[in-house]
């Protein structure tokens, strides 16, 4: 390894979570501020805590509920394009030869 090109490593850097938990981790920064940790993350705690500031989760849930309650619309058939008409005509006009 080349000398004097690597950042200083702090084996006991302090990581502070928004919930107040403090961890000792190895890092190239001495102090780290994090938003969520294993003590407050819903995956580890089993709680359903939604971290949503813009209301996107509620917007999604309302759209999903509206989609479930709305009747299913039938899709219209696509019109045949000229190329598909031509290809179907050429296939229909070509009949196998009888022996």
Range of the structural domain that residue 22 is part of? 7-46
- CATH number of the domain encompassing residue 20: 4.10.80.400
DSSP code for 13: E
pLDDT tens string for the chain (99 positions)?
A: 688 898 999 999 999 998 899 999 999 999 999 988 888 887 777 776 566 667 788 888 889 998 888 777 777 777 766 665 555 556 556 666 665
Dihedral of CA atoms 77, 83, 86, 87 in degrees, nearest 10, equals -90
Closest CA to 41 of 17, 61, 15, 58: 17
Domain assignment present for 95: no
Domain assignment present for 51: no
The Cα 10–Cα 26 span in angstroms is 6
Neighbours of 56 (CB within 10 A): 10
Domain assignment present for 53: no
């Amino acid at each position: 390894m080349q000398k004097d090109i690597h950042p200083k490593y702090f084996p006991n850097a302090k990581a502070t979570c928004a919930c107040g938990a403090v961890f000792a981790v190895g890092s190239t920064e001495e102090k780290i501020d994090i938003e969520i940790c294993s003590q407050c993350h819903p995956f580890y705690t089993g709680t359903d805590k939604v971290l949503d500031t813009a209301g996107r989760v509620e917007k999604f849930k309302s759209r999903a509920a509206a989609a479930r309650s709305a009747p299913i619309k039938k899709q219209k058939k696509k019109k045949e394009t000229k190329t598909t008409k031509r290809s179907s005509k050429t296939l229909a006009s070509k009949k196998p030869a009888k022996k």
